[in-house]
Amino acid sequence: MSQRTERRGGIHVDQSDLLCKNGCGYYGNAAWQALCSKCWREEYQKVRHKQIQDDWALAAKLQREEEAAYASSHGSQAQPPPQSTNPQPGHASLGPFSKFEEKKTNEKTRKVTTVKKFFSPSSRSAPKKETQEGKTPSPSLSRRASFDTDQVSKDFMDFLKNLHKPGREIHKQCRAFIVTMSSKKVQDLGADELSECVQDFYQNLSDRLLGHFKGSSESVEQVMDQVEKYIMTRLYKSVFCPETSDDEKKDLATQNRIRALHWVTIEMLCLSFDEEIPEVSENVVKAITDVIEMDSKRVPRDKLSCITRCSKHIFSAIRITKKEPASADDFLPALIYIVLKANPPRLQSNIQYITRFCNPSRLMSGEDGYYFTNLCCAAAFIEKLDAQSLNLSPEEFERYMSGQASPRSSDGVWSSAPPSDPINPVLAQLNTNLEALSGLSTRQEALMEAAQSLQAELLSWPQSVQHEVTGILKKYPLEVPPRHVPAIDDNDDVDNDNLPPPLMPQVFSG
């Protein structure tokens, strides 16, 4: 469940990692925690359910803490804040959402048992976490839910605490929203509708916050960043590349497309990178790493940050090459080049996810938004790229695409230079890793073949054994001799010599 287990850098691959962890025989996928898609869906339903329960438990606990803190810090001011007309300020905001209230009671019954479980000493505990919490070593914190997700909740609560009453209100809205979004009906919605739900939520909440903060959009955005982080960490698994979309198909298409374009060179893109300068190639490698890392983040804003970091490295690479600041004219082709080199995992899914679920103000106007938009352009360019866009003749383009010819190989996107290439140690390392990987995959294939023939053998083994047994049975039919009554008759043909002499009656005199 934790983000950490979702390692993408599959450089070190254990053979057993490649098959579904459940042992169902299909291939697993790191993105599905080493399960196959089917097992993952099943497992995931369970996990999500558990997470909702844990959410409630944690939220309830944090809320108690928070209320206690509020009560103690406000001492005698126990009366409800002036704006509130509800006698129960703690539950005020849930008033209009009676549907949620219902849902909540349903959840509550289950929740109780969960909470109890937390308190029982036998439940698996996470002592590390507790020492970190310091002042509240409550046993309820020893929960099984992922550390990351809990940490996000905790951070969110800590942040909201400083806002006092509005903070509590925000928390409730978010919690209720997450529950709604986790319901079965919502899960069946299309990707665009899911996006609309989240965007509506952002919009309404930020409108209300704008009123609260008297129009200070700075403060509103601060809160909204936290809200996005909290909500999207929770919803990520269910709304990233949802089944109802064709994101996955597009991912595959893009990935194959980028592979097919492995021959595109820096020159064809009219790009100013001099990778022979170590500093430039260093920045290029960093940019590649950053754009690949995007896939491992859950919060749209964190994904955006990866793109921004990637872009800054590109700007550095251009600046060092040209010895002056880069402009938009240099940047886009350079980004295209980096994307071609990185072939970032699930590029389309990530772009879609950010577009759908990022806070729009950040996406639309700010610096992050600019780089993100350029990434969208790069993806679109790669998709539509033809001979003309590379200043090639259609024939040349065809030849490269079909693999009949390749431009000078050292300029290729996948530089085929030997691993010992002294010019660029980092790329050389990449190459070595790639070779190791392809070696592994060859071995894996061999292993699969062996396993399959073993399986075939195993399947045919009982048959051949049976065959043999039948043969033997035919050869030596088991003849049951006519039933004879043993022992009583002393004239039996049994060899009596081996038997002890029969007991003879003895006469005792006297």
> Alpha-carbon distance 317 to 285, whole Å?
10
Is 326 among the residues that bind another protein (CB under 8 A)? yes
39 binds, among Zn ion, another protein, none (CB under 5 to 8 A by kind): Zn ion
Number of C-beta neighbours around residue 199 at 10 A: 15
Stretch that binds another protein, among 54-62, 115-123, 279-287, 365-373 (CB under 8 A): 365-373
SS (H, E, C) 267-294: CCCCCCCCCCCHHHHHHHHHHHHHHHHH
Report yes or no: 328 and 235 within 8 Å, Cβ to Cβ.
no
DSSP helix/strand/coil, 471: helix
417 binds, among Zn ion, another protein, none (CB under 5 to 8 A by kind): none
Interactions with another protein, residue window 68-107 (CB under 8 A):
81, 83-84, 92-93, 95-97, 99, 103
Stretch that binds Zn ion, among 23-31, 128-136, 154-162, 500-508 (CB under 5 A): 23-31
Interactions with another protein, residue window 290-319 (CB under 8 A):
305, 308-309, 315
- Per DSSP, 481 falls in state P
Closest to 142 in 3D by CA, of 112, 161, 122: 122
Is 24 among the residues that bind Zn ion (CB under 5 A)? yes
Closest to 254 in 3D by CA, of 336, 320, 132, 149: 336
Q: At what angle do helices 367-384 and 300-322 cross, to 10 degrees?
A: 80
Is 393 among the residues that bind another protein (CB under 8 A)? no
Lookup: tokens for 30: 């790191």
Interactions with another protein, residue window 448-507 (CB under 8 A):
none
- Kindly state the smallest distance separating residue 374's Cβ from another protein, in Å: 8
- Total residues binding another protein (CB under 8 A): 72
Interactions with another protein, residue window 162-221 (CB under 8 A):
165-166, 169-170, 173, 176-177, 180-181, 183, 185-186, 189, 193, 196-197, 200-201, 204, 207-212, 215, 217-218, 221
Is 34 among the residues that bind Zn ion (CB under 5 A)? no
Give the distance, in angstroms, between the CA of residue 151 and the centroid of all CA atoms in the same chain: 17
Cα-trace Rg, the chain: 34
Residue type, 30: A
DSSP helix/strand/coil, 19: strand
Owner of token pair 């509708």: 193
18 binds, among Zn ion, another protein, none (CB under 5 to 8 A by kind): none
20 binds, among Zn ion, another protein, none (CB under 5 to 8 A by kind): Zn ion
- Toward Zn ion, which CB reaches closer, 248 or 396? 248
Is 342 among the residues that bind another protein (CB under 8 A)? no
Number of C-beta neighbours around residue 107 at 10 A: 17
Report residue 216: phi and psi, to 5°: -80, 100
- Kindly state the smallest distance separating residue 107's Cβ from another protein, in Å: 14
- Toward another protein, which CB reaches closer, 73 or 84? 84
DSSP characters for 433-477?
HHHHHHHHHHHHHHHHHHHHHHHHHHHHHHHHHHHHHHHHHHHS-
Non-local CB neighbours of 289 within 8 Å, separated by 6+ positions: none
200 binds, among another protein, Zn ion, none (CB under 5 to 8 A by kind): another protein
Interactions with another protein, residue window 399-418 (CB under 8 A):
none
270 binds, among Zn ion, another protein, none (CB under 5 to 8 A by kind): another protein
36 binds, among another protein, Zn ion, none (CB under 5 to 8 A by kind): Zn ion
- Kindly state the smallest distance separating residue 29's Cβ from Zn ion, in Å: 10
- Toward another protein, which CB reaches closer, 14 or 218? 218
> Alpha-carbon distance 30 to 4, whole Å?
11
Residue type, 373: T
Is 22 among the residues that bind Zn ion (CB under 5 A)? yes
Chosen residue from 18, 19, 36, 413 binding Zn ion by CB under 5 A? 36
Is 373 among the residues that bind another protein (CB under 8 A)? yes
Helix (H), strand (E) at residue 356: helix 347-357
Kindly tell me the number of DSSP H helices and DSSP E strands found in the chain. 17, 0
- Toward another protein, which CB reaches closer, 181 or 292? 181
- Kindly state the smallest distance separating residue 424's Cβ from another protein, in Å: 27
364 binds, among another protein, Zn ion, none (CB under 5 to 8 A by kind): another protein
> Alpha-carbon distance 157 to 301, whole Å?
19
Is 39 among the residues that bind Zn ion (CB under 5 A)? yes
Is 287 among the residues that bind another protein (CB under 8 A)? no
- List residues binding Zn ion (CB under 5 A): 20, 22, 24, 26, 36, 39
